[in-house]
Amino acid sequence: MSFLYSDESIIACSTSSHTHAALAVLRISGFKAPSDFNSFFCIDLGPIEPRRVYYTNLIDGDAVVDDICLTYFKGPNSYNGENILELSVHGNTLNIERILELFIHKGGCRSANPGEFTYRALKNRKLTLSQVEGLDLLLNANSGYALRQGRSLLSGNLQEIYQDLYELFVKHKASLEMSIDFSEDIGEGQAREHYESTLLEFQKKFQTLIRRVQPLEFNLVQPEIILVGLPNSGKSSLFNILLADDRAIVSSVAGTTRDYLSEFLVVEGVRYKLVDTAGLRESSDHIEAEGVKRSKKKLKDAFYSILLINPLEMVDGFDDLMKGEFDKIYFTHSDLINFETEKLKLIAEFPKLGSIGAINLNSPKIFWEEDLYKDINKKYLITTSKEPILLERHKSLILQTAEVLKCYVKAAHSETDVAILSGELNTLGHCISELIGIVSPDEVLNSIFSNFCIGK
Amino acid sequence: MKIFDITVIGGGHAGLEAAYVASQFQLDVSIITIPGIQLASAPCNPSVGGVGKGQVVRELDSLGGAMGFLADKAGIQFRTLNESKGFAVQSTRVQIDKEQYSIAAEELIDSIPNISVIREKVLTILKEEELFVVTTTVRSYRTKKLIITVGTFLNGKLHTGNEQTIGGRVDCESSSGLRDLFTEIKTRPARFKTGTPPRLNKSSIDYSKLEEQPSDSSVRNFHGLHEPFFRSIKQVSCYLAHTNERTMEIIRDNKERSPMFNGQIKGVGARYCPSIEDKAYRYPDKNVHHVFIEPEGLELDTMYPSGISSSLPKDVQLSYVRSIEGLESAKIEVYGYAVEYDVIDTTELSLALEHLSIKNLYFAGQVNGTSGYEEAAGQGLVAGANAALSLLGLSPLVLSRHESYIGVMIEDLTSNTRDEPYRLFTARSENRLFIREDNSILRMYPYRAAFTLNTALDVYQREFIEQYGIVDRFCDETMIPEGSELMFEFSGDEDLQKILRRMSVSELLRQGWLNPVKTLERILTFHSISIPYDVVRAVAIAKKYDGYIKRSESQLEKLKKMDGTRIDWSEISASKNISFECRQRIQRIKPETFGQLKLIEGIRPATLAVVAAKAL
């Protein structure tokens, strides 16, 4: 695989190193003995006890670089099975950089690649593939649900379901093979009965899994609330009201927001990305057109979408817009004259708009904001109550397994050549093996680790 | 003193094949066998072939073995197993007349001037420079190559209830332990066990209460040069009986008297060939088991009840036999027994079945921990051919596991230590759609041709291959026009379907709704092409499976990569992330590749996932 494995010592900052902070944690992994680094510390690391915190000075020659706390984790009883040294240093970014460079230039360490610590944990059998995926999820989660699922994957919960499924597959496979190799010993009727009951058992177990995978699933790892509407419908105003600041440039000239702006918005403990899109209309301006294209894509992936309509300024493209599905539709500019008549006209034309609230963006937001947040949270609760599986690789493998299973079940009833049937069953087994991580193509590993942050 | 080129110790199915194939190279061959036993006797079931095993017999036949030839000569009931389940898993099984089978074997060996049969008991084997010295009770023999095919005779011990006798089978003495014979060879510490059912008196059975299974005249003979459907001797029927609640109750009530369950027998038996005690104790809810009543010979007055092998005391055997409908007044002529014996560690053998550290010494058959005549014969041929090829300076016969069941078996045996007797079945092959009975010549021809012999068999096989090529090309090149009226005739069986678009014959044969063999026969007849049935059948089935075989090959590629990954079992078995039970199994079996690990019974997927992560 292209993720090259070498057993050199690696170093990285495992906490955020982009902003100043009180503390930062640096990790060094893969060295032979802690005393290799004796020249950098005021204490002798030879006799230090693992899992104990030592306070000491970090030195470069005669100069004291920082005063630090260090903890030694002795392999294999460490995160990734290797010897690990964890240094808690002062969290000034410049300080962090200086210390990293010290170890790289004078300590024989190499700067770690993204996910390299965890990759070594996988190599050393401290984690399975799906635990690694869980960790990735855990570290990137923006919703409590994703956080939970990450944890749960890390502790191997989902893996257990896959393993049960694998065992049921093996049992079913055995029943098929038995009917070929021991047909005389067990008799046709019994063989068939066993074959059907094991298939049913497998299907039943698989049902619990497929229920957790919907082909059109919202992104719950980075859930987004997206604002859409024709140009000048008030998207940027709403964006600002919700965030209560002036981040978006609000202008009355249509087509100002070419790309999209986003900010985090926390609703009931879930961190959403609030996205203000470019106005959705066909445009001759190719930069704007590109923005429109991106908006449409964003709309598809969004967790929650809000459509804004200014009934006084209806332009071409509205029909097209109305084809989409929205969680919420608001009429804006209710303070203007003719609002009511225009609104009624529009509702007559698009019955779908039905009983939709209208907001006056200049009026105090207490009237509608509460309702909006409740609605967003309701959707969040409903969606997460189905316990959807969030990992893309797992989702697509489960869907693929569902397809293969469908073909197989069909063949189970029509194919009389058992040898061919057994071949079909192998395809099913292959899918489950991938799910469980028994067979995993190199590209899977590459894509997982390329997501990882450096230092993990 | 005369020096033999090749000496085979043991005149069973493995020994016979080893000597027979070696003799074809015009070498000086000898068989040393225990006096009083005929060559190729059948101490257990009176049949040859079966699922997976039928394929082995055809492979043997195509490589120049004797088993197919002998089974045809002594065959008294022919059947195709799995007939309704698809061509790839269909297998021939022939019930044999045990006496006639051995007579045919003796006649065959007698007719070969360069095989000497020595009926003496071996006492010691020594290595003297480049030669082996085999000393029997009578004298010493020298040989360049030595093949050991001693079956269950190594330290053999028989059990019937608490009666224990020393011997390799009933009324036969056993060989001494291998350790005494040949101090340099290691046997495995664990002994193996196999068993055989009581033999019933032919006229004491009420056949009217049993289901009759007559011989099938449409089953082709095994031997390629035999007239396909000609039967050498009279055909008879087999009968099907069933155990019942009472039968199983008797067995369960006498559990403490069973040597297998009271600790008297330490050896491990095959899960796939369970004794009736195994069935009774392991499946307490199941009382109805099949019992096939098979004639042991036309003249012999015994019947072999397949499926109820047992080492229970004689009184228990009699009472459970008599509880079976149709066997109420059955007389037992010979009681069932279990035999425990030593086996060698086959991981010390090469793929040519030669010992890795003692050159020129070969092992084949049940002594290698396999069960079954066919498995023994398959190894015997490989050992015999390799001994000969090596003497002549030709490259060894190593059958690929992707082309033959014999290859599957030998790779399995030599790569992995087994903890029970090894039996072949089709699920052991990853390439089942290709390893069929119908195409054994196609698969074995390149190996046979490498022997550079020119016998009648070789001429026959060359013709087969040529004709196969002709029909294969015909199928690819001949187009069936769309909707032609003739097409109705081409549909298989009763099921008439119209060809909706123009396609090649090859493509037509892939269609699921027709019988490819009958269809191709009709098409060839229509084109006035006369080709032997065997060739037509092999091509037609190959065409049918073509797409499936290609697909499974591509899946195999991916799996092979992973399965072939080497693993360090000692390190894995020390890993704390793996359950104690799995670690124990791993320590016992010592798998070297991921594929072998996967094959170990009871290995949890969690273990596989953990190991797979490391192997990436």
A166 shares its domain with A312: no
Instruction: Give the confidence band of A286 by pLDDT, cuts at 50, 70, 90.
Output: low
**pLDDT value, residue B127:** 86
Distance CA B61, CA B457 (A): 9
Contact A128 B610 (CB under 8 A): yes
Last residue of a domain, one of A125, A151, A178: A125
Q: How many whole angstroms separate alpha carbon B261 and alpha carbon B254?
A: 10
Locate the chain B residue with the closest alpha carbon to A442: B616
Cα separation values, A230 from A73, A240, A245, A275, A314, Å: 58, 17, 22, 15, 8
Cα distances from A412 to residues A175, A179, A419, B495, B555, in angstroms, run 13, 13, 12, 21, 20
Range of the domain at A193: 160-214+390-433
- Return the higher-pLDDT residue of A117 and B265: A117
> How confident is the model at residue A5, as a pLDDT?
57
* Closest CB to B290 among A163, A184, A437: A184
d(CA A325, CA A278): 18
Helix (H) and strand (E) counts for chain A?
Answer: 15, 11
Distance from CA of B411 to the nearest CA of A (A): 20
The CATH number of residue A14's host domain is 3.30.1360.120
Question: Which part of chain B has CATH 1.10.10.1800?
Answer: 471-551
Residues across chain B? 616
Most B CBs within 10 Å: which of A82, A185, A427, as the mutation test of the B interface? A185
- pLDDT exceeds 60 at position B486: no
Asked if A180 lies within 8 A of B427 by C-beta distance, the reply is yes
Residue A330 sits at φ, ψ, to 5 deg, of -120, 140
Domain presence at residue A398: yes
Cβ neighbours of B207 (radius 10 Å): 15
Q: What's the whole-number mean pLDDT along residues A31-44?
A: 93
CA angle (B412, B574, A128) in 5-degree steps:
85
List CB contacts (< 8 A) between A182 and chain B.
51, 272, 425
Determine the Cα–Cα distance for residues B161 and B315; give it in Å rounded to an integer: 9
What b/e sequence results for A100-118 when a residue is b if at least 16 CB atoms lie within 10 Å of its CB, and e otherwise? Answer: bebbeeebebeebbbbbbb
- Of the options 3.40.50.970, 1.10.10.1800, 3.40.50.280, 1.10.3860.10, the CATH number for the domain spanning B471-551: 1.10.10.1800
Measured between beta carbons, the chain A residues lying within 8 angstroms of B551 are 423
Q: What is the pLDDT of residues A365-391, one digit of tens each?
A: 666 778 888 889 998 888 888 888 888
User: In the listed set A385, A415, A448, which residue is the last one of a domain according to the structure?
Assistant: A385
Strands (E), B288-354: 290-295, 302-306, 332-334, 337-341
pLDDT at B601 over 90: no
**What CATH code is carried by the domain that includes residue A378?**
3.40.50.300
Do residues A346 and A238 both lie within one domain?
A: yes
Do residues A257 and A379 both lie within one domain?
yes
Confidence at residue B23, expressed as pLDDT on a 0 to 100 scale: 97
**Residues A321 and A406 reside in one and the same domain:** no
Residue A246 — very low, low, confident or very high, per pLDDT cuts 50/70/90?
A: very low
Residue A23 pairs with which residues in a beta bridge? A90
Q: Assess whether A351 and A395 both reside in one domain.
A: no
Distance, first Cα to last Cα, chain B: 59
Using an 8 Å CB-CB cutoff, list chain A residues near B87: 417, 419
Same domain, A236 and A277: yes
Each residue's pLDDT tens digit, A386-424: 888 888 888 888 999 999 999 999 999 888 888 889 888
Domain tally, chain A: 3
> Does residue A438 lie within any of the structural domains?
no
Query: Taking 90 as the threshold, does the pLDDT of residue A184 lie above it?
Result: no
pLDDT tens sequence across B102-116 = 999 999 999 999 999
The CATH topology of domain B564-615 is: DNA polymerase; domain 1 (1.10.150)
pLDDT of residue B463: 96
Q: What is the ipTM of this complex?
A: 0.81
In tens, the pLDDT along B422-466 reads 989 888 888 889 999 999 999 999 999 999 999 999 999 999 999
Question: Where in chain B is CATH 1.10.150.570?
Answer: 564-615
User: Is the Cβ–Cβ distance between B362 and B145 less than 8 Å?
Assistant: yes
Q: Out of B425, B555, B605, name the one closest to residue A430 (CB).
A: B555
Same domain, A230 and A201: no
pLDDT of residue A269: 80
Contact B307 A420 (CB under 8 A): no
Angstrom distance (rounded) from CA A52 to CA A49: 6
Looking at domain B196-340, its CATH class is mainly beta
Answer whether A418 sits within 8 Å of B82, measured CB to CB: yes
Q: What percent of chain A has pLDDT over 90?
A: 25
Q: Per-residue b/e over A80-90, b at no fewer than 16 CB within 10 Å? A: bbbbbbbbbbb
Q: What is the mean pLDDT of residues B371-399?
A: 96
Q: Determine the distance from the C-alpha atom of residue B53 to the mean position of all C-alpha atoms in its chain, rounded to a whole number.
A: 4
pLDDT for A440 beyond 90: no
Please tell me whether residues A250 and A197 are part of one structural domain. Answer: no
DSSP A55: E
A107 and A179 inside one domain: no
User: Which residue blocks in B450-576 are alpha helix, DSSP H?
Assistant: 456-477, 487-490, 505-510, 516-526, 533-563, 569-572
Give the gap in angstroms from C-alpha A216 to the nearest C-alpha of chain B.
29
Amino acid (1-letter code) at residue A288: E
pLDDT at A162: 87
Same domain, A252 and A313: yes
- For residue A181, give the nearest of B426, B610, B613 by CB distance: B426
Answer with the residue of higher pLDDT: B218 or B609: B218
B-side interface with A, Cβ within 8 Å?
A: 51-52, 81-82, 84-89, 272, 289-290, 292, 307, 425-427, 432-433, 512, 545, 548, 551-552, 555, 558-559, 562, 575, 577, 598, 604-606, 608-614, 616
- Strands B337-341, A63-73: pairing kind: unpaired
Q: Which of A122, A180, A420 faces B613 most closely, judged by CB atoms?
A: A122
Residues spanned by CATH 2.40.30.260 within chain B? 196-340
Please list every residue in chain A whose beta carbon sits closer than 8 Å to the beta carbon of residue B272: 182
